């Protein structure tokens, strides 16, 4: 059955509101769009076994449609976390329909999400961080532009706890090495300043003075560039990280592992939770509190210091 423009239009309006009015990140918007598109297809052409009438307007939506759909998801063995996200999208969209007067009652009011186990971010130990940074230092010692760049990237990422998307989006103008800060743009286009520790500043100076100018054209604004002189991508950084991690004997690492490690090590070495929240760019401090669960892990020495 073809998707009705009116029903599709309501979804588009809802997602636009999340992006413009509430500052939801692009990845979240995309996930919600996929979730609601899947639900729209279901209610317009429900499986015969569910014995539901197809919907042609959202004002026909009832609690039975939502209950049947969540059961439909469970029987197809979706992960609990996926069902919870899809349920959250449905509850928000149902509230939107009531707010716009499209439906009279919130049909998702009694909709429940499956229990999702508490997520504990994975970090690596301070010793493993030291090994990783030592490998980038070896590469930089050769004086090649790529080695100087890689050391500057790893030091900056671990020094600040940036997301890799924020790291590769940096421009040269975003650095203020005299003030020991970098300016980055996070989720919802929120700007923040993050402090740089001495090792990151030294690595960035070496890269800017002796590496970047040898591979980047004069008009290029990007701070970190690939061998062709254009902005490095997230995928490009991940490949670089995996190569250094392999050399350091570290398994199962992602760019976000360094962000998690920064947060856990910062709390372990005496940073206040509120300071770590600001450096990570979390809107809610409850998001940052999860790192308390790993901050007390074995080992007390950290590569981080409040220098």
- Cβ pair 232, 265 in contact under 8 A: no
How many Å is the Cα radius of gyration of the chain? 24
pLDDT over 60 at 303, yes or no: no
191 shares a domain with 146: yes
- Cβ pair 62, 107 in contact under 8 A: yes
195 shares a domain with 143: yes
259 is catalytic: yes
Catalytic residue of the set 100, 256, 274, 293: 256
133 shares a domain with 58: no
Q: What angle do CA 294, 297, 268 make, to 5 degrees?
A: 75
pLDDT over 90 at 178, yes or no: yes
**Measured distance CA(35)–CA(172) in Å, rounded:** 38
134 shares a domain with 84: no
For 105-115, b where at least 16 C-beta lie within 10 A, e where not — what string?
ebbbeebebee
| Boundaries of domain holding 10 | 5-99
Catalytic residue of the set 72, 242, 282, 292: 282
161 shares a domain with 288: yes
210 is catalytic: no
Catalytic residue of the set 85, 149, 163, 265: 163
| Domain containing residue 189: CATH number | 1.10.443.10
Q: What is the pLDDT of residue 122?
A: 80
pLDDT over 60 at 300, yes or no: no
Q: What is the pLDDT of residue 205?
A: 98
Whether residue 302 is contained in a domain is answered as no
Catalytic residue of the set 42, 158, 207, 291: 291
pLDDT over 90 at 243, yes or no: yes
Q: What is the pLDDT of residue 226?
A: 95
Task: Give a three-class secondary structure readout of 95-132.
Answer: HHHHHCCCCCCCCCCCCCCCCCCCCCCCCCCHHHHHHH
Summarised one tens digit per residue, pLDDT across range 201-213 is 999 999 999 999 9
Q: What is the pLDDT of residue 160?
A: 94
136 shares a domain with 246: yes
183 shares a domain with 286: yes
| Mean residue pLDDT across the chain | 87
Catalytic residue of the set 144, 183, 187, 210: 187
H or E segment and range at residue 181: strand 181-185
**Measured distance CA(26)–CA(150) in Å, rounded:** 27
Long-range contacts of 53-60 (CB under 8 A, 24+ apart): 54/1, 55/7, 56/4, 56/7, 57/4, 57/6, 57/7, 58/6, 58/7, 58/10, 58/97, 58/102, 58/103, 59/102, 59/103, 59/104
37 shares a domain with 91: yes
**Measured distance CA(290)–CA(133) in Å, rounded:** 25
| Domain containing residue 56: CATH number | 1.10.150
Whether residue 52 is contained in a domain is answered as yes
293 is catalytic: no
**Measured distance CA(241)–CA(224) in Å, rounded:** 14
For the full predicted model, state whether its pTM sits above 0.85: no
258 shares a domain with 142: yes
pLDDT over 50 at 1, yes or no: no
Summarised one tens digit per residue, pLDDT across range 112-140 is 766 655 666 788 989 999 999 999 999 99
Whether residue 223 is contained in a domain is answered as yes
Whether residue 174 is contained in a domain is answered as yes
Whether residue 301 is contained in a domain is answered as no
Catalytic residue of the set 259, 260, 265, 268: 259
Q: Quick one: pLDDT band at residue 4, thresholds 50, 70, 90? A: very low
Whether residue 300 is contained in a domain is answered as no
291 is catalytic: yes
Tally of domains within the chain: 2
Q: What is the pLDDT of residue 170?
A: 97
DSSP 8-state code for residue 186? -
Which tokens in the block code for residue 304? 């981080």
- Cβ pair 301, 126 in contact under 8 A: yes
Tell me the CB-side half-sphere exposure of residue 27, using CA atoms within 13 A. 4
94 shares a domain with 132: no
77 shares a domain with 161: no
Whether residue 17 is contained in a domain is answered as yes
Whether residue 113 is contained in a domain is answered as no
């Amino acid at each position: 059955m073809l998707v009705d423009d009116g029903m599709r239009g309501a979804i588009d309006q809802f997602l636009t509101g999340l992006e413009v009015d509430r500052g939801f990140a692009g990845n979240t918007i995309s996930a919600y769009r996929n979730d609601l598109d899947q639900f729209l297809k279901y209610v317009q052409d429900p499986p015969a076994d569910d014995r539901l009438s197809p919907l042609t307007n959202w004002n026909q939506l009832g609690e039975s449609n939502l209950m049947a759909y969540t059961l439909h998801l469970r029987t197809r063995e979706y992960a609990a976390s996926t069902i919870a996200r899809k349920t959250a999208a449905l509850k928000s969209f149902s509230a939107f329909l009531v707010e716009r007067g499209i439906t009279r009652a919130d049909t998702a009011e009694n909709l429940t999400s499956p229990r999702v186990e508490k997520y504990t971010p994975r970090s690596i130990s301070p010793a493993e961080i030291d090994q990783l940074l030592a490998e980038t230092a070896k590469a930089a010692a050769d004086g090649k532009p790529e080695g100087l760049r890689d050391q500057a990237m790893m030091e900056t990422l671990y020094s600040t706890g940036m997301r890799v998307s924020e790291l590769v989006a940096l421009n040269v103008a975003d650095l203020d090495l005299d003030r020991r800060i970098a300016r980055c743009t996070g989720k919802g286009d929120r700007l923040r300043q993050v402090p740089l520790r001495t090792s990151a500043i030294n690595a960035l100076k070496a890269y800017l003075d002796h590496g970047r100018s040898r591979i980047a054209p004069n008009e290029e604004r990007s701070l970190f560039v690939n061998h062709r002189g254009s902005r490095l991508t997230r995928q490009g950084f991940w490949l670089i990280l995996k190569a250094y991690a392999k050399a350091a004997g570290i398994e199962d690492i992602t760019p976000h592992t360094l962000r998690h490690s920064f947060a856990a090590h910062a709390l372990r070495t005496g940073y206040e939770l509120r300071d770590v929240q600001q450096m990570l760019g979390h809107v809610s401090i409850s998001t940052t509190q999860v790192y308390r669960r790993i901050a007390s892990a074995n080992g007390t020495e950290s590569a981080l210091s409040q220098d």
